[in-house]
Amino acid sequence: MPEQSFHLHQKLSDFDEFCVNARHWDLDFRQLDSGRFHSELLMSGNASILFTRARLGRRMQQRGTPPRGLVTFGLMADPKINIYWRNIDISGDQLFIFPPGGELHSVTQADFDVYVISLSEDKLDRICDSCELPCFQKMIDRNEVFDCNPQHVSALRRWLLTIERELTTCDHCIRHHLYLEKLEHEMAIWLIRILAESRQDEARRSIRKRDRALQTAENYIHESGNTVVSIAELCKACNVSERTLEYAFRERFDLTPKAYTLIYRLNSVRKQLRMADAGNEKVSIIALQHGFWRMGQFSASYHKLFAELPSQTLKKG
């Protein structure tokens, strides 16, 4: 019996809603720049294939994990778009692949627009075999990023756009398992052929001291929960000078460490407000739990970042 398929196409003005609605993904987004969030999410698939196009209208820090049991590929919808993904700069016609169990850990700009394809490894292996290629894992050789032929990637983008139009205009076809079986087969052929002629980018390069420090700092802040983290603490945890840490944060986030920690805490407050019961919980109590003591200053910072008051977020929850 064929696996049950699903289809969704939504415009969302809340990034936590986006994370919840992204089927089979475990996502945690945090907004990094000021303004109202907006996005568009198209997803279709079943247990063997997931086709996604995602657009995000704000600068975001993305964490989480891709669909389990599938191999997940990413391709920027526009070759001019750049993202920072798993300590690698991704741009242009590069195809990137999540390693088994690999975490989504990226910083994306307000022009973020990506195609994401998840397929079963069995299907990929069968296509490799039919093309007289090594099995999929041997072919990619543990690499995560691949420089591909620009003309062939451009042709793939045009085909993906055709699929996108079919999925958004032909309701009858997306509900039929035969359409998804055909799409899975064709998608696997496209990706294997492009990978077979690509140049593997050395993703296993050594990580700079600055990148290691930043990764340690991010994890330290994340694991500190509601505790306010000082810059001195971060420098000690990362074993770097304040100057090195500032360079690292400015390079990755275009923010100072102090500004980043403030934005991180504001995002944490927002997540708690979204889950809170407006009838039983108060904004001031939640803000205090995250180290905000001056309510006027907190409300102003919150409104500047999210373009809404904390009380409005609480009511939406």
CATH number at residue 213: 1.10.10.60
Amino acid present at 257: P
In this prediction, residue 203 carries a pLDDT of: 44
Identity of the residue numbered 295: M
What pLDDT score does 317 carry? 67
Residues 177 and 214 in one domain: no
Average pLDDT, the chain: 91
In a domain, 73, yes or no: yes
In a domain? residue 268: yes
Please indicate, yes or no, whether residues 12 and 101 belong to a single structural domain of this protein.
Answer: yes
Mean pLDDT lowest among 20-24, 40-44, 206-210, 267-271: 206-210
Predicted pLDDT at 173: 60
Question: Do 224 and 146 have their domain in common?
Answer: no
Number of H helices, E strands in the chain: 13, 13
pLDDT at 225 over 90: no
CB 125 within 8 A of CB 135: yes
Cα 268 to Cα 28: distance, rounded to the nearest angstrom: 11
pTM here?
0.91
Give the range of the structural domain holding residue 241, as residue numbers without chain letter. Answer: 209-316
Give yes or no: residues 34 and 149 share one domain: yes
Answer whether residue 2 shows pLDDT above 70.
no
- Quick check: 204 pLDDT over 60? no
